[in-house]
Structure 1
Amino acid sequence: MNELDFYNKIGKKIGWNFNQLQVTAEGQKWDFYEEVKKHCKKTDILLDIGTGSGENLIKLAEDFHLLVGIDQSPSMIEKASESAVNAGVNNVRFFNMAAEHLKFPAQFFHCIISRHAPFDMEEVARMLADDGIFLTQQVSEADKLNVKETFGIAQNVEENDGKLKQRYVAELEKAGFTEIHAYDYNATEYYQRAEDLLFLLEHAPIIPNFGKNETDDKNFNTFIHRYQTDKGIRTNEKRFLIIARK
């Protein structure tokens, strides 16, 4: 199953909403959407690249003049549009669109964001107005490191950790962005139930083809036994944040 097929499948089932999971975290240094509100203005027009099923964008409706969310998955956009109607917001629009081919007027957006989704740096630069701001939060290579170690896919993960952040910063510099700031954190996560972690692994691309490999059940049970604590089942959440002005 390719990446788009995977996200279409998940979009039809749950959208991209993991809020039902019972999980706590210690050591998070920021909330991405609070950072968005802090660095953008209520009069701004915002583009969300890789909006998924749109729940988080809809929550920002009162904080912006106009919000546009795009995603390459038709099922995600269908769910996002339904959610916007149900929420009664009239300043949020969703489009099925590839990040590499944005079909909007140049320099149309004052603020562009992308959370845990791929984007095209040249298209971001083309769409962003002068003095506009771009914010992205992404999953670092060493996220869920003990899970990857248990499932035998952690080779070279720590060695490569941070390379994606460095690549994005270099691309932003090449695209002419200024005031580029990069941050990261490595928080400790506690999943309260085995079924919470199981749901995550079934619906997020952490372990390739999870559930179809012969050793998945054994590795999952080994992980639960090894990392069960009084606070929950322990793993890590590693993220990086980049904020750049054009």
Structure 2
Amino acid sequence: MDARESMDYKSFYERVGARNGWDFSSVKAIAEGVAWDYAKVVQSRCKASDTLLDIGTGGGELLLRIADAAGQLVGIDHAAGMVETARRNAEREKRQNVRFMQIDAEDALPFPDASFDVVCCRHAPFRADESGRVLKPGGVLVTQQVGEGDKRNLAQAFGRGRSEATTGSLMRKYAAELNAAGFVDVQCFQYDADEYYATAEDLIFLLKHAPIIPGFGERDEDFAVLERFVADNRSDKGIRTNSERSLIIANKKL
């Protein structure tokens, strides 16, 4: 069962957004085998005069990081808490070319046709047809999604949270939808990297702020399970798990 189907995902997402967005900068972790840097991939597709739409912007952390890559950037998210956090972050960084709006990307987007040069989306659902509509001819869409096998040893240890879908299923679904929506040169990539968390506290922060183990901490046995997991997966590099990601880059035909 997919983690989003076994928990109230939107309620969880609102709580995280009101607390801190998706800012995991305090978590100490390293990864080996990462095949790309998503922010750099998006930046490389931008020109200084471009307009960019970031779908599922969360607390705006990534959009603010790449704000110099484009002329105007818009981040949208369905969660009010996320948008409030993103606006606070933008105000703190004094960014004048970035704005955030509460919009559910699974509905029709409230933007005119051909409004953006670049559409990006990280770890959030999006509609291929609407993304294509708001892109200018020759524009590009970049999306990174979490793979079905992400954090597989954690899901096995807790006995919940693991997707039953075959690895790459979501990537292939989105690629097919993009092709059907008229995108061209749809390129797909995947990696499955080793990930090491420095301490149990870093791992607990991740589990409390990301939808990996549904309802983590709500069951009496969760911390005993975590203690065994840490003991079984500790190494010189840290506490081992994995990070599985997919990347799609697609162009709107001229």
TM-score, normalised with respect to structure 2: 0.93
CA contact (8 A) 1:25 1:188 kept: yes
Unpaired segments ≥5 residues, structure 1: none
1:105 corresponds in structure 2 to 112
Displacement of 1:154 after TM fit?
Answer: 6.9
Displacement of 1:160 after TM fit?
Answer: 1.4
Q: Does 1:78 align with 2:52?
A: no
Q: Does 1:117 align with 2:124?
A: yes
1:10 corresponds in structure 2 to 16
1:188 corresponds in structure 2 to 194
**Number of residue equivalences:** 245
1:56 corresponds in structure 2 to 62
Identify if the C-alpha distance between structure 1 residues 154 and 78 changes in structure 2 by more than 3 Å, giving closer, same or farther.
closer
Identify if the C-alpha distance between structure 1 residues 134 and 223 changes in structure 2 by more than 3 Å, giving closer, same or farther.
same
1:145 corresponds in structure 2 to 152
CA contact (8 A) 1:40 1:133 kept: no
Output the amino acid matched with 1:69.
Answer: G
Displacement of 1:156 after TM fit?
Answer: 6.5
Q: Does 1:233 align with 2:235?
A: no
Displacement of 1:56 after TM fit?
Answer: 1.3
1:213 corresponds in structure 2 to 219
Distance 1:58 1:84 in 2: 7
Q: Render the CA deviation track for 1:149-208: whole Å, top value 9, x for unaligned.
A: 111137774x61111111011111110110010001111101000000011011100111
Q: Does 1:244 align with 2:246?
A: no
Distance 2:25 2:103 in 1: 25
Distance 1:182 1:52 in 2: 24
Output the amino acid matched with 1:244.
Answer: A
Output the amino acid matched with 2:135.
Answer: L
Output the amino acid matched with 1:65.
Answer: G
Distance 2:101 2:45 in 1: 24
1:36 corresponds in structure 2 to 42
**Which stretch shows the higher mean deviation, 206-215 or 87-96?**
206-215
Displacement of 1:123 after TM fit?
Answer: 1.1
Q: Does 1:67 align with 2:68?
A: no
**Percent identity among equivalent residues?**
44
Q: SS at the partner of 2:124?
A: coil
2:140 corresponds in structure 1 to 133
TM-score, normalised with respect to structure 1: 0.96
Q: SS at the partner of 1:104?
A: coil
Displacement of 1:101 after TM fit?
Answer: 2.6
Over aligned residue pairs, what C-alpha RMSD do you find? 1.3
